[in-house]
Amino acid sequence: MATNSALRSDPDWWRGAVIYQIYPRSYQDSDGDGIGDLQGIIQRLPHVAKLGADAVWISPIFKSPMLDFGYDITDYCDIDPMFGTLADFDALIERAHELGIRVLIDLVISHTSDQHPWFRESRSSRGNPKSNWYVWAEPSPDGTPPNNWLSIFGGPAWEWDSERLQYYMHNFLAQQPDLNFHEPEVQDALLNTARFWLDRGVDGFRLDTINFYFHDEELRSNPPLAPEDRDYSTAPAVNPYNHQDHLFDKSRPEMTGFLRRLRALMNEYTDTAAVGEVGDAQRGMQIMGEYTRGDDLMHMCYAFEFLAPDAPTGRRVGEVLQKFSKVAADGWACWAFSNHDVERHSSRWNLDEDMLRVYLALMLSLRGSVCLYQGEELGLREADVPFEALQDPYGKRFWPKFKGRDGCRTPMVWQKDNSNGGFSQSKPWLPVSADHVNAAVEVQEGDPASMLSFYRDMIAWRKDHAVLAKGEFEVRDIGDGHVAFVRTMPGESMFCAFNLMKSPLTVSLPDGEWEQVAAPGFEAQIENGMAHLDGGLAFFARQKTNQNSGGNNG
């Protein structure tokens, strides 16, 4: 267990925190099998500390058949041997805490693997002690599934089981049966899982697919969704999942009761926090507000507004911020542009280096916490993984219109003079991109103009200006190519403007006297109450007096 900690006790540490996501299969291989592991993460934690992250979120490391690369779990309380041992995990916690980094682990409790002992018992008969632990249903009179629910991974969300002679529900792979959260014993068992890891020293959790836990007990079919209302942030356009309004297979009202139980458990421990993933294309922001409202539910949540295919315009950013302030006035957001499930935003939005910098400055100026994804700090673009090297079942299912998630999951690159980018001495589980090697950590290290240096500088700058992380905000000016807002907290006001276009822009400052604050890598001019920004530029100004420029909670 962790004994030597550089962490300062702070129950509010998560508000405004920068969280760095590690995809363990692809971070660092320490034993030469081509797959990243816990000892590899320990080896590279100084990189995370130097970046300035407050915490790491580690994607699943539990025992698993790895059909969905750890998101199909067979044992919630043990480490898969490919990643190491529980002793390795304890060492990781201790090393992270020595470096002042908190550790969140990915808790995947909406479903298990079909190889989990719970499911094996549940499917064995209709009268066993765990018979109601999963979502079972009789077929329709004609033998078809009980309703029209669809799987995100394609096809019906129901699989026929020849042992039990019923259908079971699966929102993802057929080998990932959904747990039945309407069963109190299921909730108790999962809370015991959370307690196991909290006792082990974790600082909290990232909760996978948090709004998928409960289903409609009446098994009502989802209504169709009009083409003009379809949004492709949760599933790609080639997936018919987008043709339904998902009213009954997820995002059910019973969810807040379970979240209160989880929060009460976490409150028994010191300085813990959890961030929930909300996957709902139509009501994501509203659900974020419901799940983070008050102080007895989730600490924070993220939805898919900024994980969508299209680059957020200034107008879109402003609309998201205004909507969040309306539906989640006392909630807390965690913002992200990239993660292990979507194409890297540098490629998804086709951003050059200047635009990558201004979008980072924008994200680090939003009220809320921030998730960064490994390799993002190097400016990595999506890797091109050929079909024959593809691992992701999602990509194989919808190839070639949708190539899956492997392009953002290729190994982290540490060195240029190594055929595998310093990730492994053996052939990696996914190929290392030749383009990525040229942007390796050692290439950018020590270069003050590099993307890596910019990320470090901007994170440090955010920490030096607490108003950016925790202050209130008021949107002041939005357009297709720009957004400007004011951040306020007692004694400090900051005006933030972002030019998301290539052409120059002039924006008006709020009333009062303002002085420019030099942000890393950005220069602009103030003249007669106006800020003049070149293309792809961010601008910050502090109010000279202590007068409050106003602001709305967001």
Residues annotated as part of the active site: 208, 268
Tally Cβ neighbours within 10 Å of residue 218: 7
End-to-end CA, the chain: 38
Contact 327, 293 (CB under 8 A): no
Question: How far apart, in whole angstroms, are the C-alpha atoms of residue 314 and residue 333?
Answer: 19
For residue 196, give the 3-state DSSP assignment.
Answer: helix
The dihedrals phi and psi of 263, each to the nearest 5 degrees, come to -65, -40
Contact 329, 551 (CB under 8 A): no
Side chain identity at residue 388, one-letter code: E
Report which DSSP code applies to 407.
Answer: G
Single out the residue of 2, 105, 4, 103 nearest to residue 55, CA to CA. Answer: 103
Contact 222, 282 (CB under 8 A): no
Write out the two tokens for 420. 């595998």
Give the long-range contacts of residues 41-48, CB within 8 A, separation 24 or more: 41/92, 42/88, 42/91, 42/92, 42/95, 44/412, 44/414, 45/92, 45/95, 45/96, 45/99, 45/101, 46/99, 47/441, 48/20, 48/22, 48/99, 48/101
For the stretch 77-98, what's the b/e string if a residue is b when 16 or more beta carbons lie within 10 angstroms of its beta carbon?
eebbebbbeeebbebbbbbbbb
Question: How far apart, in whole angstroms, are the C-alpha atoms of residue 530 and residue 58?
Answer: 44
- Please give, one letter per residue, the 3-state secondary structure of 141-155: CCCCCCCCCECCCCC
Which bin fits 252, alpha (ψ -120 to 50), beta or left (φ > 0)? Answer: beta
Contact 421, 413 (CB under 8 A): yes
Side chain identity at residue 370, one-letter code: V
Sheet with strand 514-516: strands edge to edge: 472-479, 482-489, 492-499, 537-543, 514-516
